[in-house]
Structure formats: C-alpha cells, structure tokens
Amino acid sequence: MLRRQATIEETTARFTWDIPAFFNIGVDVCDKHAETRPEALAICDVDQTGAVTDYSFGDLYRMSNQLAHALSAHCAVGDRIAVCLSQRVETAVAHIAIAKIGAIALPLFTLFGPDALRHRLADSAARLVITDAAGAKVIRQLVPQLPALELIVCVDGASDGALDYAAFCGGQPAVFDPVQTTADTPALLIYTSGTTGPPKGALHAHRVLLGHLPGVEMSHDFFPQPGDKIWTPADWAWIGGLLDVLMPALHHGVPVVACRFRKFTAEAAFDLINRTGVRNAFLPPSALKMMRRDMPGGRAAMRSVASGGETLGAALIDWGRDAFGVTINEFYGQTECNMVVSSCAALAPAEPGVMGFAVPGHDVAVIDTEKRASCAVGEEGAIAVRAPDPVMFLGYWNNATATEAKFLRVGGADWLVTGDRGCLTASGRIRFVGRDDDVINSGGYRIGPAEIEDCLLTHPAVRMAGVVGMPDPTRGEIVAAYIVLGDGHVGTETLAADIARHVKSRLAAYEFPRAVRFVSEMPMTTTGKIIRSALREMARREVAGGKLPPNQ
C-alpha cells in the first residue's frame, strides 16, 4: 500500500515495490479474503430493475472454483478465454477463475458490433467465450470465421448453440487448486480503443494488478479507508473499469457495486450512489459532464472521486466540489501502461488543466524524442515511462514490430513512449497537451485541443466539443471546433461567431476556433473518448471540397 507522508515528494521517496516472484490475480482478489473473512461483502450486484443481490468473498470463492474446474476441462495454461459480459457478478467470477487456471482473460465490450468482436476473437485465437444471450447470438454467427473458438457459454441459459452457464458449472467441486503463476505470467489481453488505428492487443502479466495499486490509492486519497465502497460506470471490459476499480478494490477487500443501467443518466447515477452507499467512484469525464449538464443541482456525499481519459477543466472540478463534497482527482495512463500519473487532493491542491504528479513507483518524464533527452520545465515533449515497470504491458499480441516501436532508448534506459504530448510544470506535475497527432500547428504555435474544449464547454449553448486542426494555406492549420449543441439551440453563423468570441476572450488570441462547425453527433470510442481522427478527416474533406474554412 501507498503510505501517506506529509508531501508528494516524501511519499514518493519512501515508496518501494514489493512484487513477489509468484503471484496470481485470482488468488489475490478472492481466495485470501475467503480464508480470513468469507462473509465479508465483495460484490453488490444491481440489475436493470434496481434489485440488489449481495455476494460475499466466500461466494466468489465457491463460484470461481466451480467455473475454474469447468474451464480446465476445455482450456489449458495460456489459452485465451473471452469474457463478453457487462458489470455483473459472473464477470468478476469469470476473471477470477480464468486467472486461477493460468489462462489469459480477453475482456470484450457487450456493445461491440460483429466486426469488432471478430477482430479481437480472431486475432487472439480465443478458445472459449463466456457471454450473455445477446452476445451469444452475434458470436454464433461469427463461428465459421473463428477456427480457434470451440465453445460459447451463456449466463442467460442455453441459446444459439451456447451452453448454459449454470449447467456448465453445476456439480463442480467448490475447491480448486490454482495454477502457480509467476508475477510475469500472462494474465490479461486488453485491446486498445483504436483511436489511432486498428485495435492492438496489449498483453499484461499478473503483476499488472500490483502495478495499479499506488495510482488507485493516490487518486482516491489513500484508498482504502474504513467504510469505502466503490463504483464506476466504466465497463469492466476496459482497463479503467477492470483494473482501476474492480480488481484493486477486491485486492483491498473493498465492496464493489456492479450496475447494469439500461441507459446511463445523471439521475440514475446520483440515485445509485445515494441508494447503495457508494463512497468512492471513478467517473470518466464524459459521465461527469453529463451529470453536471443534466442535474446541475445533483448531490452525493462522497469520500473520493477520480477521473481520467480526458483533461478536466476548472469548471468541472468546481462543480465536483459542490456536487460530491470532494475535489475530483485526475489521473492518467493508457491500456499499455496505466495509472502512472495522478493528482491527490489529500496531498496537494488540484491545478485545473494539469493532470498530476508521477505516481510513486513510476518514473514518468517528458522527453525530446529527437534529442533523446529530458525536456526542461515548460518545454513540450513526449510523455514517457521508464521500463521496466510493474504496470507496463508485456507487449502487443502477435505484433513485435509495434511493440518495438513503442520504446525508445534515452539516457541509457528504455522508455515506453505513450504517444501523448505534455510538459513538466514548475510544481513538478505533468500537464497533458494532446496526442502526437492531436497537436495543432497554427502560425508557428503548437496548440493542444484539451484546453480549448474545456473552454468551449463553458458556453451555455455547447453540449459537447471536439477540437482539431483544419488545413490552411496561410497558417498551416487553423483551430476548428466541432460542436454538439444543447437542447433548444440552433446552429447559426451568429452562434458560431459568439462561440468563437467566447474562447478568444478567455484564452490566447491564437487559440480561438476560426472554424466552428455544428454536428448532430460526436464520433466517440466505446470508452467515451472523442475520435479526433474522424474530425480531422471531416476537416480535410471540407477543405478539399473547396469550402472556405474560417467563420471569422
């Protein structure tokens, strides 16, 4: 655990890793608690009707052992087993059981379409899928294109050629002898969200859970504390839901709320938090923005709220203090190397627009990739993490070339280059600028989209905003803002000009959007991130079509 000291500097100086030679995620998050306090609450399962079912660590132990026996009859150590389920107790049980048998879990999002499922299942050569009725129906149609897939198990009962999950586990022993895995044994294959190209499988070892702990503990103001209970709307198929919330909480013996909303709404989120006694939450920026917009007066008494995935602005942080009674701690990472930067209000006041400090245990730097040297304070460069690191991936699945390209030799050490741009601040924090291809080059200025998007969201007509560079013969690029308007607003040239002035009056003159475009829907990844590459393509097509880009 991260031990709190007076300052971030002292907390970092006194932190040391304790990674054992042998480690198994399933044993760590389940069996150790089942041996000492089997009746303790582990999962608070809330179904779509709002009905709540509580599961203890003893329940998880029995259920995961029965599933482990069933899986062992079909899969061996190192085989890939897909879990295509929403937040529910069976999802947690599946991950625990897969870890216990030494197989590799492949989390899949339930809203993936056929193409997304086919790519991941085929690329990973998954042998077995655990899913629900909707997933079984789609995956069954893909079977002819998935030669490695041998079995589909459905938690909703036998259907579309899938076996009934209850029957699959039924009659199996309640005790299982887990495979002895090392800390470096592969455990998880999580595919990237595909913001910069086709999704790649990031292979993680069992140690990835231990690598996450300092960042989780820091972003939740020294988690856990007595009475903590955690929830996130982020799906457990993503690293943010699985390894920022579910697994670290179970590691610490903290109850996790699993909820399957028919549709996420601000009202439903506030109601769930208040009704189930949630004290800690990971709320992605998209969820926070929706909660602020749709229920500006919403309230929930929280102990900690963390957020990551997009930069938070001052307005959102101020709203969070009022809505939750705490300062939202922003954190940073990516599928390949997660939770390496975080703010921590318990140690230092938040700096809006600045994502935080390097988490103790992680060596994070801003480097000049051409000079292969560290950047000075305030100098923009590539955000990088020194290898080796417990939270760092083993490599891309079946893609040694992409793995090699992810690392750079600097100062006698190997560094994982995240693909994001940032700069070190005078306070020792790291400010996020944008992805390499998101940075806008306009008239000699390098402009990150995040600050402009935050400013745009303070305009009363703006519901959602995405900012990219639009080709321009004079400036190289101009700032282009793509806007989804709030209810009751109509996109006119007058409104576009007012939105541009709104930014110009609050940020630097060179940062205001010279092109403001209204769109009905923002292109988003399934994890709630803006797909700026799609917006850049829209901008390129517009310029190629001969339309004059500037509104101003």
DSSP states along 30-67: IIHHHHH-TTSEEEEEE-TT--EEEEEHHHHHHHHHHH
Q: What is the C-alpha to C-alpha distance for residues 153 and 132, in angstroms, rounded to an integer?
A: 8
Q: Which helix (H) or strand (E) holds 503?
A: helix 493-504
Q: pLDDT tens across 275-323, in order? A: 999 999 999 887 898 899 889 899 999 999 999 877 788 889 999 999 9
- 3-class state of residue 409 by DSSP: strand
pLDDT of 3 reads 92
CB-CB contact of 184 with 207 (8 Å): yes
pLDDT of 552 reads 46
pLDDT of 549 reads 47
- What does the block give as tokens for 357? 């400090």
- What does the block give as tokens for 522? 């923002």
Tell me the torsion sign for CA atoms 203, 209, 210, 216: positive
pLDDT of 197 reads 55
Q: pLDDT tens across 190-204, in order? A: 998 655 557 899 999
Stated pTM of the model? 0.85
Q: What is the C-alpha to C-alpha distance for residues 430 and 358, in angstroms, rounded to an integer?
A: 8
Q: Which of 361, 321, 355, 337 is CA-nearest to residue 16?
A: 361
Pairing status of strand 304-308 against strand 280-282 = parallel
Please enumerate in sequence order all residues whose Cβ is within 8 A of that of 30, keeping only pairs 6 or more positions apart, or say none. 42, 57, 60, 61, 64, 96, 250
CB crowding 337-357: b at 16 or more within 10 Å, else e: bbbbbbbbbbbbebbbbbbbb
Residues in the chain: 552
pLDDT of 472 reads 85
pLDDT of 303 reads 98
Q: What is the C-alpha to C-alpha distance for residues 503 and 395, in angstroms, rounded to an integer?
A: 41
- 3-class state of residue 451 by DSSP: helix
Q: What is the C-alpha to C-alpha distance for residues 127 and 505, in angstroms, rounded to an integer?
A: 57
Q: Which helix (H) or strand (E) holds 130?
A: strand 128-131
pLDDT of 548 reads 52
Q: Once rounded to an integer, what is the mean pLDDT over residues 394-409?
A: 96
More reliable by pLDDT, 353 or 24: 24
Please enumerate in sequence order all residues whose Cβ is within 8 A of that of 274, keeping only pairs 6 or more positions apart, or say none. 300
Residue 90 has pLDDT above 70, yes or no: yes
DSSP-derived letter for residue 223 is S
State the residue for tokens 């709203």: 319
Q: What is the C-alpha to C-alpha distance for residues 421 and 458, in angstroms, rounded to an integer?
A: 24
Backbone angles phi, psi at 255, to 5 degrees: -60, 140
Going by pLDDT thresholds of 50, 70 and 90, the confidence category of residue 526 is low
Going by pLDDT thresholds of 50, 70 and 90, the confidence category of residue 113 is confident
C-beta atoms surrounding 257 within 10 Å: 24
Residue 63 has pLDDT above 50, yes or no: yes
Write down all domains in the chain, each with its CATH number in brackets: 20-31+57-206 (3.40.50.12780), 441-544 (3.30.300.30)
pLDDT of 80 reads 98
